[in-house]
Amino acid sequence: RDNFYDVAMRGHFAWIVGYHGTILRSQDQGLTWELQPSGTTEALFRVSAVNANEAWIAGSYGTILHTRDGGKSWHKQQTPTEEHLFGLDFINSRKGWAVGVGEFGRIYRTRDGGLSWTKQNSPIEVPFISGASRNLFRLLMSDSRSGWAFGLDGVILTSQDGQNWEMAAQDGGSPADAKRYHLFSASSVGLKNWAVGERGTILMSRIDSRRWDASGAKSSPSNLNGIAFSADDTGLIVGNRGIILRTDDAGKQWTPVRIALKGSTNGVP
């Protein structure tokens, strides 16, 4: 079964991306899915959609894909690096961030829809020669200036200007459990932020708080790699071995989704 690395939702539309260039699209909030041609065999780690038609995907070896037609066609775009891009987040058609370049904790920003990128100040960026591993996997931007970045060993960074990043406060910024598990993705719904990660980790934080705690929601023991919500409290989580979880109540309960891909003989549980 394919590993799914991320999911994005906009209204009734959703995308899943994963191993070997996999792109799936749903038009009914994740109940049914169809394959889309990606034009690449690279691993696709993150997808960010600004509406039902326009989205970006980040992947291995600096891959960035862009669509303006709902995913009927995906086009390779300018990339700031040849290392892996583990995350990106666009808040509109022009402004976006990319994180987790290789193992170096770098953060890049674009103001022109991904045509060009500039490097931001990251407190965990390390040189290649150090051999350290400080990956960042996910961005959650509240607006064009403020947001969170999540990564290995429960690392959580925060920014108030979209250019300079700092470690979240230890007194509630990251709970003890989060320090032991990697955090791979994050999303928000209502007044709450959510983060998912290694070994079924699901964390929750109020938007006006710096504190992250275990949500208490039942999940899978496998790695959870992506989470997304639509405006009506419907949400999706994806993970290793084709895991898809769905909620209709803003994350209080999550239930597995079994799908058969349109146009494919492969069943995805």
pLDDT value of position 121: 78
Taking residues 219-241, report their average pLDDT: 90
Q: What percent of the chain has pLDDT over 70?
A: 83
Query: If pLDDT is split at 50, 70 and 90, which confidence band does 74 have?
Result: very high
Q: Is the dihedral of CA 158, 8, 58, 200 positive or negative?
A: positive
Q: Please, what is the average pLDDT of the chain? A: 81
Our CA angle for 110, 94, 158, nearest 5°, is: 55
pLDDT value of position 73: 96
Query: If pLDDT is split at 50, 70 and 90, which confidence band does 39 have?
Result: very high
Which of 137-141, 217-221, 262-266 is the least confident region?
262-266
pLDDT value of position 147: 76
Cα 81 from Cα 78, distance rounded (Å): 9
Say which amino acid occupies 86. Answer: F
Residues 6+ apart with CB under 8 A from 170: none
Assessment of whether the complete model's pTM goes beyond 0.85 = no
Cα 235 from Cα 44, distance rounded (Å): 20
Q: What is the CA radius of gyration of the chain?
A: 17
Residue 112 has pLDDT above 50, yes or no: yes
Task: Identify any residues that bridge with 186 across adjacent strands, giving them in sequence order.
Answer: 195
pLDDT value of position 137: 73
Give me 149's structure tokens.
Answer: 């970045």
Residue 100 has pLDDT above 70, yes or no: no
For the chain, what percentages of helix, strand and coil (3-state, to nearest 5) are there? Answer: 10, 45, 50
Q: Which CATH architecture has domain 4-268?
A: 7 Propeller (2.130)
Residues 6+ apart with CB under 8 A from 131: none
For residue 212, CA distances in Å to 16, 120, 169, 172, 223 come to: 26, 25, 11, 7, 19
**Counting Cβ atoms within 10 Å, is residue 148 exposed (0-12), middle (13-18) or buried (19+)?**
buried
Kind of pairing between the strands at 23-26 and 34-35: antiparallel
Tens digits of residue pLDDT in 200-215? 989 888 877 767 788 8
Taking residues 119-148, report their average pLDDT: 68
Taking residues 181-206, report their average pLDDT: 86
Residue 109 has pLDDT above 60, yes or no: yes
Cα 87 from Cα 69, distance rounded (Å): 22
pLDDT value of position 173: 47
Residue 72 has pLDDT above 70, yes or no: yes
Question: Does residue 233 or residue 126 have the better pLDDT?
Answer: 233
pLDDT value of position 83: 84
